[in-house]
Chain A
């Protein structure tokens, strides 16, 4: 009888005990093991920076320049491609407003390196950009800063130096790279000196820093090597030639044969001077720059 009554009493108290036990049980903490990458991953926004980083770091870093169709300056990445950049240990930027996509994505600021910050005061501003006005913001321009900074090879050295300082490697390939670039710079200087004062044409406005460094008299049109110029473009060129009688036109890539032929008829020789913003089909940055020099030397 007593036993049965005790059981009943315990049964009546058990919900309270159960509640107490339930709340005494804590939640276990989920500790995720942090992943650690052995070799630092460096992402770059253009090929020259990738080349510099590869030369400096060697196999001490995994340098990634994603495959980009066309000019990397105007690349439009997908969210997945941006996510790859977000996971990098270091992201090398060219600066000088290069890579318009950077203003439209989220990247970890602590891992960004603006390689041209040291000479940002010497950036060339393009003044002929179209501006427009509407709304409370008033007149504004979507104007540009010239961004092909590395075509002044002394600036290329400064960009490589910024990477070298950031990486701070004991076994750095920077000195060799610097020597190679400065040697080429002297050769370019010597060759361009032969064109001193002579009017030159650029097929595209990418040669601003080249023009300044090597004291060229170069004016540019907006032509693409693989697109035949229309009549308006030819007219624009003729107008330009009337005040800038150039005999040489520098091209980013090999122009169409028909374009080249018409230019030759006009007494203008086409020379490929590849800025090498994207990875070349053959060779590397240095060999492409040397080829540019050879192309210059091969003019009649």
Chain B
């Protein structure tokens, strides 16, 4: 048997280009449907696990998919803003704990997610270095953000202005990095987390500046009237929160009216979750409460339908490739007619010739399948990375 394998191997190595094309064709025929299946399964799992671990999300009525993608995966357009009072509304029901999310701003391509530190516990996010954000202006980075930007604890990161032409708009805020999260294989890896109040500072609802009541700020005061100090345009807002100026930061207005994009509701039990959903059913209700798992199931149904079409196409392509491979083997036999004759003349029995040709075909087939298996394993290993970089 060993001599058969050796002879077959030498023949295939001698005709390496033909062999390589055959192996690659067979590998691709096997890999295409299996790989697609792996990719779809992984993306389904990735989406489903995240959705299943997020019981309920509340946002303004509109697209449930947009709300889910923005709140769970930090992608898609920013959903309509709702007020912080929606967090208090959930907490006051005593049916669930509410976690606010304000996902509107970015630093370069990475989302800045304003939330409470409850979010880190909820997602079971662990720190690779540093600590959780504690003071205004502090943030922590997802593992991929830190790696991509080459940042670590002690560095700072600046929020990106929404529009370069909006000179009177939102100021960029320099945030201090106090922690970096371990990789979790989730969208959290590609996010920057900060306290909700810090994102309100980015949005201009809070700011810090020189104390206008102090004599040294006199040049910034336009007039004083009945205890009201009116400043002139020379007052400069701080664009970095430091230990020295942190105390000067203050909020304008009632925080319960300040914006967020969604509320993650964590019901105490199944019954509480159902009761909470019931509170958002009125026709006059301006909020929607969604179960992300249902939204993702609907999305996956669409993906699976598309997958069926792709698999049907792959089956047709595969069939024609197999026919071509058979043709190649048959034509090869004709071309090797004189070689086979020589083998017969030197006394090689017919069954040994058939065994030799069979071994060659088997080696090509097995090599193709092994290559397909390796490609599938590679996809299984790096599928999530591909999904995230190709889809999002």
User: Looking at the complex, which one of A2, A23, A83, A103 makes contact with B132 (CB distance below 8 Å)?
Assistant: A83
User: Looking at the complex, which one of A131, A134, A136 makes contact with B227 (CB distance below 8 Å)?
Assistant: A131
Give the CA-CA distance A137 to B381 in the complex, in Å: 52
**Inter-chain contacts of B230 with A (CB < 8 A):** 132-134, 139
Q: Are B134 and A79 in contact (CB under 8 A)?
A: yes
B 341-384 contacts with A by CB, 8 A: 370-371, 373-374, 377-378, 380-381
Q: Are B6 and A5 in contact (CB under 8 A)?
A: yes
Given A103-B251, A109-B118, A142-B250, the answer on whether A23 and B381 have CB atoms closer than 8 Å is yes
Given A16-B374, A130-B229, A133-B228, the answer on whether A108 and B168 have CB atoms closer than 8 Å is no
Given A6-B6, A82-B134, the answer on whether A133 and B227 have CB atoms closer than 8 Å is no
**Inter-chain contacts of A137 with B (CB < 8 A):** 204, 207, 252-253
B228-263 vs A, CB cutoff 8 Å, 1 = contact: the mask equals 111111010100000000110111110000000000
Residue of A nearest to B120 (CB): A108
Q: Are A108 and B117 in contact (CB under 8 A)?
A: yes
Given A83-B134, A132-B230, the answer on whether A104 and B249 have CB atoms closer than 8 Å is yes
Give the CA-CA distance A105 to B196 in the complex, in Å: 10
**Inter-chain contacts of B99 with A (CB < 8 A):** 109-110
Distance in Å: Cβ of B45 to nearest Cβ of chain A = 15
**Inter-chain contacts of B188 with A (CB < 8 A):** none
Q: Are A109 and B6 in contact (CB under 8 A)?
A: no
Given A79-B131, A135-B235, the answer on whether A20 and B374 have CB atoms closer than 8 Å is yes
Distance in Å: Cβ of B151 to nearest Cβ of chain A = 18
Given A16-B370, A23-B378, A79-B131, the answer on whether A108 and B227 have CB atoms closer than 8 Å is no
Q: Are B116 and A140 in contact (CB under 8 A)?
A: no
**Inter-chain contacts of A132 with B (CB < 8 A):** 212-213, 228-231
Residue of B nearest to A133 (CB): B230
**Inter-chain contacts of B381 with A (CB < 8 A):** 23
B290 contacts the other chain (CB 8 A): no
Q: Are A2 and B116 in contact (CB under 8 A)?
A: no
Give the CA-CA distance A24 to B377 in the complex, in Å: 7
B283 contacts the other chain (CB 8 A): no
A154 contacts the other chain (CB 8 A): no
Q: Are A109 and B98 in contact (CB under 8 A)?
A: yes
B189 contacts the other chain (CB 8 A): no
A70-87 vs B, CB cutoff 8 Å, 1 = contact: the mask equals 000000100100110010
Q: Are A136 and B204 in contact (CB under 8 A)?
A: yes
A106 contacts the other chain (CB 8 A): yes
Q: Are B374 and A79 in contact (CB under 8 A)?
A: no
A 1-39 contacts with B by CB, 8 A: 2, 5-6, 9, 16, 19-20, 23-24, 32
**Inter-chain contacts of A79 with B (CB < 8 A):** 131, 134-135, 138, 178
Q: Are B377 and A20 in contact (CB under 8 A)?
A: yes
Distance in Å: Cβ of A33 to nearest Cβ of chain B = 13
B109 contacts the other chain (CB 8 A): no
Interface residues on B, range: 35 or more
Distance in Å: Cβ of A201 to nearest Cβ of chain B = 22
Q: Are A106 and B195 in contact (CB under 8 A)?
A: yes
B1-18 vs A, CB cutoff 8 Å, 1 = contact: the mask equals 011011001000000000
Distance in Å: Cβ of B390 to nearest Cβ of chain A = 20
Q: Are B197 and A130 in contact (CB under 8 A)?
A: no
Residue of A nearest to B367 (CB): A16
Give the CA-CA distance A106 to B133 in the complex, in Å: 7
**Inter-chain contacts of A106 with B (CB < 8 A):** 116-117, 132-135, 138, 195, 197
**Inter-chain contacts of A136 with B (CB < 8 A):** 168, 204
Give the CA-CA distance A129 to B252 in the complex, in Å: 14
B46 contacts the other chain (CB 8 A): no
Q: Are B195 and A130 in contact (CB under 8 A)?
A: no
Q: Are B9 and A9 in contact (CB under 8 A)?
A: yes
Q: Are A2 and B135 in contact (CB under 8 A)?
A: no
Q: Are B5 and A9 in contact (CB under 8 A)?
A: yes
Q: Are A104 and B168 in contact (CB under 8 A)?
A: no
B136 contacts the other chain (CB 8 A): yes
A 138-157 contacts with B by CB, 8 A: 139-142
Q: Are A133 and B231 in contact (CB under 8 A)?
A: yes
**Inter-chain contacts of B251 with A (CB < 8 A):** 103
Distance in Å: Cβ of B228 to nearest Cβ of chain A = 5
**Inter-chain contacts of A282 with B (CB < 8 A):** none
Q: Are A104 and B197 in contact (CB under 8 A)?
A: yes
User: Looking at the complex, which one of A2, A110, A142 makes contact with B97 (CB distance below 8 Å)?
Assistant: A110
Q: Are B116 and A108 in contact (CB under 8 A)?
A: yes
Give the CA-CA distance A141 to B378 in the complex, in Å: 61
Give the CA-CA distance A44 to B137 in the complex, in Å: 24
**Inter-chain contacts of A139 with B (CB < 8 A):** 228, 230
B121 contacts the other chain (CB 8 A): yes
Q: Are B370 and A82 in contact (CB under 8 A)?
A: no
Give the CA-CA distance A140 to B205 in the complex, in Å: 12
Give the CA-CA distance A133 to B298 in the complex, in Å: 51
Give the CA-CA distance A259 to B250 in the complex, in Å: 35
**Inter-chain contacts of A19 with B (CB < 8 A):** 374
**Inter-chain contacts of B87 with A (CB < 8 A):** 109
Give the CA-CA distance A104 to B136 in the complex, in Å: 5
**Inter-chain contacts of A133 with B (CB < 8 A):** 228-231
Q: Are A130 and B213 in contact (CB under 8 A)?
A: yes
Q: Are A86 and B374 in contact (CB under 8 A)?
A: no
Q: Are A105 and B132 in contact (CB under 8 A)?
A: no
B55-97 vs A, CB cutoff 8 Å, 1 = contact: the mask equals 0000000000000000000000000000000010001000001
Give the CA-CA distance A24 to B370 in the complex, in Å: 13
A128 contacts the other chain (CB 8 A): yes
Q: Beyond the given A106-B133, A109-B99, A132-B228, could you list 8 further A-B residue pairs with CB under 8 A, ordered by the A residue number?
A: A23-B377, A79-B178, A106-B138, A109-B98, A133-B231, A134-B232, A135-B237, A142-B250
**A-B CB contact pairs (8 Å), 25 listed:** A6-B2, A16-B374, A20-B374, A23-B378, A86-B134, A103-B250, A104-B135, A104-B136, A105-B136, A106-B134, A106-B138, A106-B195, A108-B116, A110-B116, A130-B213, A130-B227, A131-B228, A132-B212, A132-B229, A132-B231, A133-B228, A133-B229, A134-B232, A140-B252, A140-B253
Top-6 shortest CB links A-B? A134-B231, A132-B229, A82-B134, A23-B377, A106-B195, A79-B134
